[in-house]
Structure 1
Amino acid sequence: MMIAARCTRLGIPIVKNLTRVSSTSMFKSTDLNQHYIHSSVTCFPKCELTSKRYQIERGQFSTISEEDVNFFTNLLGHHRVINDETELEGYNIDWLGMVRGASSVLLKPKTTEEVSTILAYCNKRKLAVCPQGGNTGLVGGSVPVFDEIIISTALMNKVENVDTWLGVVTCQSGCVLEALDEHVSEYGLMIPLDLGAKGSCHIGGNVSTNAGGLRLLRYGSLHGSVLGVEAVLASGEIVDCLSAMKKDNTGYDLKQLFIGSEGTLGLVTKIAINCPPRPQSVNLAFLGLETFDDVLKTYKDAKKKLGEILSSCEFIDQSSIECVEKNLKLKAPIGAHPFYMLIETSGSNGIHDEEKLNVFLEEALGAGLVTDGTVATEPSRMHHIWSIRERIAEALINDGCTYKYDISLPLPHFYKMVEDMREHLGSNILRCCGYGHIGDGNLHLNITSKEFEKDLLNLIEPTIFEWTAKVNGSISAEHGVGFKKRNYIHYSKSSGAIALMKQLKALMDPNGILNPYKVLPDN
């Protein structure tokens, strides 16, 4: 009762609802958010072609012919070969409206064998291809730069097996993340990955970009969670590394080549993923803090005092919350503060977990680290609080043009990046804000202006990458390198590492047809 009284006085209502929640509704995104992500490309005027905006020279690839279209039509049928310009528009542009290609053909295979036939043909003809999942990427990796053939995994959405003994799901790469999570929830399991775009993104795209998400702190990266991968090489050869064993120490771990390679080494067609048990008890705290030093101390205490039940630790600055409140009319559950944190616990015993969280909060309040907050255990309240965090990207787009940067930084430098960029850019911008996964050092830095400005982009880049390199951070934490960061990769990788990457690319895709102009630098 002491903690409840203390929290009430400070504006923290403790939600006394310790009944077991529905496993399928715990983290479910709203229909509105799903619709937004699917249709967001229609929110923008048609942006300039990537090839013109960035002055890119087309590679020495063949141009698709009527004979090529006939081959694909005979293989897939008319309904799975899309060449209508209007229908293709949404596949040629990213959902930020920042990069746009000019593909004239999109293919929708259903099987690995069809992908194999397509790639073997394209390789022989030297036709460049662009693999595409849900097209929710933020670095231009999932859309063409020129006229690459788009290979969509949208129809490759079968769940092939759920091993309830090992806790492993095997599925095709086109399964939507949220739908896959709901499927395994029927077996008391969960996908160890959660993203704001879960209602649209494909698991194959997640694996190909090594997506991190909200709960990497608890479950680790996909390099650990993915047990097996099936992929098709540029030659059409199928590489079967689809082991579902949690221990498979035989030879080179080839699946790791495809995790995070963004479709440049092979097209991922099937995946086996380790699925932890679905938590029976979830608590979520939304806290207000006065300084970033308080944020760091609170995170350190959370790791120590919440231990095994800590599943997520998120950071949001005031500017990000103001953007959500202004542009989406979502109201934060507490008043204005310079900084905010979301701390989630997940476990099997509701009473035990709530007691640990209450003790942690009592001590944080007593130490003056946390000044306000709210705690929820019921699904509807948790969903509302999470939606504030997950829809920041959507809110920022409503400012106009968003320049998004996903970087890893040592925690002492985490927010200094935002402050320095804000000072560096001055009145040239509408907003400079930061949020992200404080638990793994992943900052999402966002800068907005009314419309795209090349001069502003030049002010931001490469300054932001130079700053990151100076503190030994990474220019890409979880979004990948894609098109936008390929020529800045040297800020995070040595020349020797980049040379080896190029050798692997040349070995596995000698004609360079797989997702060209992505990941590797031009020179």
Structure 2
Amino acid sequence: MPDPPPLAPALRRALVEVVGPDHLLTDPAVTAGHAIDWTGRFRGATPGVIRPGSVDEVAAVIGVCAAEGVAVVAQGGNTGLVGGSVPLAGEVVLTTARLTTIAEVDADAGRLTAGAGATIAAVHAAAVSAGWAYGVDWAARDTATVGGSVATNAGGLRVVRHGSTRAQLLGVEAVLGTGAVLRDLGRLEKDATGYDLSGLLCGSEGTLGVVTAARLRLVPDPPERATAALGFASFAAAVVAVGQMRRTLPGLEAAEAYRAAEAELVAGHLGRAPALRPPPPVTVVVECAGTGDQIETLGAAVAALDGVLGAVVADEGPRRTALWRHREALTEAVATLGPHHKLDVSLPADALAAFAEEVPARVTEAAPGARTWLFGHLGDGNLHVNVTGVAPDDQAVDDAVLGLVLARHGSISAEHGVGTAKRRWVARQRGDVTVAAMRAVKTALDPAGILNPHVLFGDGD
């Protein structure tokens, strides 16, 4: 998009008064990195990036913008993949980069409070130092932030055991579109006093409020772990095997799948041999954790499976890390092929294998020069359909994939959010009544409509 007009002098003065001159960035060379998403598919422009250092400063910034009718996009680590946190319509960017404090680590109760700008890796470190673990984890942990994870209800690698971000969320502090501060950090494990507003903000993609802090539930940190890479002849065989492990392996924490094509791509990217050689049609990385000998526990579970073409099992840190590296590097390996469409979907268990087998052909029909890269979280039915070789604004591939998802009673977004990439599809999945209810909530909490107005079900659909 063309560069937006500069901030009006009065608006600029008001924002500087709140955050100081060093924390209002307007140089295009500095702000450019805030106007493109991680995939390179979504590119916008912004007249300014605002860096508040406290919840009170966030509230004052939102109050100024609401009074002036200036749209705001909140941004954390900018690791989003669906155009949900970039200023595609010339909005100002409010970054949570300075809200990084992790406090109130309660080692007895297993909970902590983290600023929206704290990274997921920092939360993990704080949890471990208190004798616990944090149940949400994914490859972008060193950059992705707590606020972004709450905004998208992020899932990641361990949803099969711990659930997504909403399952870890005890409360939030957030600034609503009016500039009012919602202080909901004191909630308890059991609290039945009315609406769960923290749960409502989780997954709202910055359209209802700017999350400034979150109270997070921690989980036990098992002393022993074992990881395995298993080979299967098809997604159907892999789905059956993972279902069996979910029933018989209580310590199962992750079950991640990718195909031979992805195994070869990431092996070339890393300069390392695939986890299984030669790569089977489908590789599944599983991990279990608990007390006692997890190699023995996982080995027994694997031995009881049908259709395993090959297996590598590890409990030592470096060997486990090597197996995980092949899975976690898949997104960055695909990114080396250029801007791509990343379609994060989920399917019922009984439709997952058929979808995985059919979707590459659907993509080829829509765009004969395209290439499909498929991997994801098999334990919770979430697959990432990555498509390269098509223009960023080409909707034909998206329509083909998402149409197939809905035909198989799945969801168009599992953990990345709707953003701008999928907003045309929200009403098709959720229905007009649900969307009208969501719009009513949006109007109640953001009456001026300034918070991320072009995502989820934004104007212009």
Shorter-chain TM-score: what band? over 0.9
What SS is found at the alignment partner of 2:140?
coil
Matches for 1:178-197 after TM superposition, within 5 Å: 178-197=121-140
Post-superposition CA distance 1:439-468 (Å, at most 9, x none): 11101111111x6265xx333132222211
**Kept after mapping to 1: 8 A contact 2:41/2:392:** no
**Kept after mapping to 1: 8 A contact 2:178/2:448:** no
**Kept after mapping to 2: 8 A contact 1:418/1:432:** no
Where does residue 362 of structure 1 map in the other structure? 303
Where does residue 15 of structure 1 map in the other structure? none
Between the aligned partners of 1:232 and 1:404, the Cα distance in structure 2 is 30
Change beyond 3 A, Cα 1:277–1:244: farther
Between the aligned partners of 2:415 and 2:332, the Cα distance in structure 1 is 18
What SS is found at the alignment partner of 2:430?
coil
Structure 2, unpaired ranges of 5+: none
Where does residue 318 of structure 2 map in the other structure? 380
- Residues 1:320 and 2:262 aligned together: yes
Between the aligned partners of 1:315 and 1:356, the Cα distance in structure 2 is 21
**Kept after mapping to 2: 8 A contact 1:475/1:491:** no
Matches for 1:153-302 after TM superposition, within 5 Å: 153-302=96-245
**Kept after mapping to 1: 8 A contact 2:362/2:401:** no
Between the aligned partners of 2:272 and 2:350, the Cα distance in structure 1 is 31
Between the aligned partners of 2:272 and 2:443, the Cα distance in structure 1 is 49
**Kept after mapping to 2: 8 A contact 1:193/1:216:** yes
What SS is found at the alignment partner of 2:340?
strand
Between the aligned partners of 1:244 and 1:342, the Cα distance in structure 2 is 36
Pick from 445, 452, 459: which aligns with 2:385? 445
Q: Which amino acid aligns with 2:451?
A: L
**Kept after mapping to 2: 8 A contact 1:305/1:356:** no
Q: Which amino acid aligns with 1:370?
A: V
Deviation at 1:385, TM superposition (A): 1.2
**Kept after mapping to 2: 8 A contact 1:429/1:447:** no
Moved more, 286-295 or 110-119: 286-295
Change beyond 3 A, Cα 1:458–1:245: closer
Where does residue 468 of structure 1 map in the other structure? 405
Deviation at 1:496, TM superposition (A): 0.4
Where does residue 518 of structure 1 map in the other structure? 455
Deviation at 1:271, TM superposition (A): 0.5
**Kept after mapping to 1: 8 A contact 2:42/2:392:** no
Q: Which amino acid aligns with 2:267?
A: E
**Kept after mapping to 1: 8 A contact 2:169/2:217:** yes
Deviation at 1:198, TM superposition (A): 0.5
What SS is found at the alignment partner of 2:304?
helix
Deviation at 1:129, TM superposition (A): 0.6
- Residues 1:128 and 2:57 aligned together: no
Pick from 417, 423, 427: which aligns with 2:361? 423
Moved more, 264-273 or 463-472: 463-472
Change beyond 3 A, Cα 1:477–1:74: same
Task: Please report the TM-score for the alignment, with normalisation by the length of structure 1.
Answer: 0.84
Percent of aligned pairs with the same amino acid: 32
What SS is found at the alignment partner of 1:296?
helix
**Kept after mapping to 2: 8 A contact 1:316/1:435:** yes
Where does residue 35 of structure 1 map in the other structure? none
What SS is found at the alignment partner of 2:342?
strand
Q: Which amino acid aligns with 1:494?
A: G
What SS is found at the alignment partner of 1:400?
coil
Where does residue 14 of structure 2 map in the other structure? 71
- Residues 1:486 and 2:429 aligned together: no
Change beyond 3 A, Cα 1:323–1:415: farther
**Kept after mapping to 1: 8 A contact 2:363/2:370:** no
Where does residue 273 of structure 2 map in the other structure? 331
**Kept after mapping to 2: 8 A contact 1:284/1:345:** yes
**Kept after mapping to 1: 8 A contact 2:236/2:354:** no
Q: Which amino acid aligns with 1:428?
A: P
Q: Which amino acid aligns with 1:479?
A: H
Between the aligned partners of 2:236 and 2:426, the Cα distance in structure 1 is 31
Moved more, 63-72 or 436-445: 63-72
- Residues 1:392 and 2:330 aligned together: yes
Between the aligned partners of 1:356 and 1:418, the Cα distance in structure 2 is 30
Structure 1, unpaired ranges of 5+: 1-48, 53-57
- The size of the alignment, in residue pairs, is 457
**Kept after mapping to 2: 8 A contact 1:233/1:267:** yes
Between the aligned partners of 1:81 and 1:258, the Cα distance in structure 2 is 26
Q: Which amino acid aligns with 1:234?
A: G
Change beyond 3 A, Cα 1:182–1:386: same
Deviation at 1:304, TM superposition (A): 2.3
Change beyond 3 A, Cα 1:494–1:180: same
Post-superposition CA distance 1:393-412 (Å, at most 9, x none): 11111122311110011223
Q: Which amino acid aligns with 1:85?
A: P
- Residues 1:137 and 2:80 aligned together: yes
Moved more, 395-404 or 263-272: 395-404
Between the aligned partners of 1:343 and 1:240, the Cα distance in structure 2 is 39
Structural RMSD (CA): 1.8
Between the aligned partners of 1:310 and 1:418, the Cα distance in structure 2 is 23
**Kept after mapping to 2: 8 A contact 1:316/1:339:** yes
Between the aligned partners of 1:212 and 1:84, the Cα distance in structure 2 is 35
Where does residue 446 of structure 2 map in the other structure? 509
Deviation at 1:244, TM superposition (A): 4.4
Q: Which amino acid aligns with 1:232?
A: V
**Kept after mapping to 2: 8 A contact 1:466/1:491:** no
Change beyond 3 A, Cα 1:330–1:67: farther
Deviation at 1:413, TM superposition (A): 2.4
What SS is found at the alignment partner of 1:358?
helix
Deviation at 1:292, TM superposition (A): 2.1
Task: Please report the TM-score for the alignment, with normalisation by the length of structure 2.
Answer: 0.95
Between the aligned partners of 2:273 and 2:427, the Cα distance in structure 1 is 41
Change beyond 3 A, Cα 1:466–1:415: same
